[in-house]
Amino acid sequence: MEKAKVLIVGSGVAGAVRHLPFFKNNPQVILAGMCDPDLERARRVAAENGIPGAFSSLEDGLRETGARIVSICTPPQTHRDLAIYAFEHGADVLMEKPFAVTLEEARQIVAVQQRTGRKLSVVHQNKFMAGILRMTEIVRRGDAGRVLHIGLTWMTNGDRDRMVIDPNFWCHKIPGGRWAESLPHQLYIAYALVGEMRLLSVAARKTGTKWPWMTADEVDVVLESRDGYVNIRMSANPDEIKRRINILHGTKASYMFSYKTAFALAERPNARISMDLFRRWLAARFMPKPKAKALPSPHEHVINQFIEYVLHDGPNPTSPEEALHVEELNEQFGAEFERVIHKPA
């Protein structure tokens, strides 16, 4: 059987580092080309990875290769036109987040996708991290009870964040700036745990003089879920490169979780430890443990699942409904962020 051909649009970090290796390694597809207005960069990436084609536009790439799958790894300002062109020329689309710049653009993309009968997914990869998957399963089983409150923390060292320190990075040109680029990750993780939400408030301020092109370095977002609230805190000021520690409080139990792990916040144990507990501790501490099977990276998971979705009608890694809801909340955040930042003192 002939392998499905793939075109990657955008040869920057997202395309060349986060998408290319996993499409290249999947035996069901073949990478037919890289597309980028910077044709020299597309040619360089293609040559380094044994990809036969390099093109300056999606139009040229689809005409020359007849690709079945288009992977869009460009700034969101370009997503609508690229996705619609791909759908109307017979390709299925995997799209990096943010889905689009506006909810209206996202709706236009979905409308054409439905009209053409093609397949669409947006890269919401971090919901497939081990800790998020575990937390999602805990909630699904009902171990936490009704979810009353989720606190999500996303903090970055601005001096080491490529998006913060580059004044020309595309995120600074959209409402909400760097934070509107990052917030979709937190929104789709919360969506996986509590479903649809409603934006209640945004607080944002600039606490220092660094990065004058950024209008805020501290942000707090509050949303309402069916049974409680979601609070998202974002900062560019920690010393650590990244910090992502999250807490979920339910009616039955509370949990702490990160991308790597999730565990219950049990009550502090008594000072006296029974012999049975002591023996179990010894066994856990010193007995050899079976080596856990390594999970694929989140981008690898999304790309492999998308290929199964396209070729074999497997589950869609991100439904249009989820993508539209996240885009709607992110657009509302951007508008409220700009209002808060620019309101008169």
Q: What is the pLDDT of residue 242?
A: 76
- What single-letter amino acid sits at 259? Y
Q: What is the pLDDT of residue 343?
A: 82
Q: What is the pLDDT of residue 295?
A: 67
Domains of the chain: 4-118 (3.40.50.720), 127-272+278-285+327-342 (3.30.360.10)
**Cα–Cα distance measured from residue 196 to residue 189, given in angstroms and rounded to the nearest whole number:** 11
- pTM (2 decimals)? 0.87
**Cα–Cα distance measured from residue 231 to residue 249, given in angstroms and rounded to the nearest whole number:** 12
pLDDT in tens, the chain (345 residues): 689 999 999 999 999 999 999 999 999 999 999 999 999 999 999 999 999 999 999 999 999 999 999 999 999 999 999 999 999 999 999 999 999 999 999 999 999 999 999 999 999 999 999 999 999 999 999 999 999 999 999 999 999 999 999 999 999 999 999 999 999 999 999 999 999 999 999 999 999 999 999 999 999 999 999 999 999 999 999 988 777 789 999 999 999 999 999 999 874 445 455 556 556 655 665 666 565 556 678 999 999 999 999 999 999 999 999 999 999 999 999 999 999 998 876
Token pair for 51? 């990809």
Q: What is the pLDDT of residue 289?
A: 59
Hunting for tokens 């009870």 — which residue is that? 145
Q: What is the pLDDT of residue 271?
A: 43
Q: What is the pLDDT of residue 268?
A: 44
Q: Is the separation of the CB atoms in 70 and 86 below 8 Å?
A: yes
Region of 5 (left: φ > 0; alpha: ψ -120 to 50; beta: rest) is beta
